[in-house]
Amino acid sequence: MARSGDGTGVRADMSPSGFGPTSTTDDVLQGVDLAGRFYLVTGASGGLGLETSRALAAHGARVVMAARNRDKNEAAAEAIRRLHPDADLELLDIDLGSLESVREAASQFLDSGSKLDGIVANAGIMATPFELSVDGFESQFAVDHLGHFLLLDVLLPRLAESGAARVVVVSSAGHRMGDVDFHDLNFERRDYDPFVAYGAAKTCNVLHAVGIDQRWSERGVRGFAVHPGGIHTELGRYMTPDVIGSLLSRMDGSSGFRWKSIPEGAATQVWALTSPLLNGVGGVYCEDCNVSPVLGTDVETVDGPGVAARAVDPRRADELWSLSERLVSRAD
């Protein structure tokens, strides 16, 4: 992970991007030509994934839209084509909550022979009632992290063939709400709290990006974690009044929090995927289209900038990587 001496996580020679919380995908891609680039976006059938796919395709990229529901994904692709008739889109069926489905999708992509310049690991679920995946893992850990881990584990060699590829793992400021317990992933010893589980999964997302960068940067693949901000999308389908109250209790109110539009929310992942400012950089956490500071002490509130130090700890990234390898192998 590239860091300056002040512990902010930003290289001393890196200037701010010039973008901010109200920047949109079209803002960050203004004047950018992505012709010849090939990207894969998970969760592409709605919300941030749909907007990310649209923006990349609008600027000339070929985009593989990966999603669980084929009908919904086809409708999403048609919506993009109505706006951009020349959009170069492909569809890929994947259920990130099923490791068998992930293996099938990854194999299908490899068999296509397509090049790959970047992946946006965007799909996820949030604050769900307790449930185990078909493979026996707590559902948020399974969908948000482990399914993506397996997908990327298979596709990273293809990414490396491009010589300069990026993986963007969509995390959240919600990573501050709960740390991953490597010895109790399924809440067998603890009472289940949907936001603690969500925080753990989002912590895994950041650690995963760090782990990718540690292992693959020498082969030209850089890893980034991003916080898109607060956006009204289908991610909040489980937000009952009690769950919303629990979330509000974790906000200190001092940051001037505002909801973002979907194009504003997707801007940071598009920026992290394409910005030349990030050439030679990796293993960092980004929000509002800039690299975020590493917080000196871990905090549990979810408003305000910064990434918890525990989420970018390279030793913990190694521990998660080793554990994830064992888990996907066990479920093989």
Catalytic residues: 171, 198, 202
The closest alpha carbon to 255, from 288, 289, 224, 225, belongs to 288
Report CA-CA distances (Å) from 293 to 23, 206, 223, 230, 309. Answer: 19, 14, 17, 19, 9
Bridge partners of 284, per DSSP, are 224
User: Which residue is listed with tokens 């956006």?
Assistant: 231
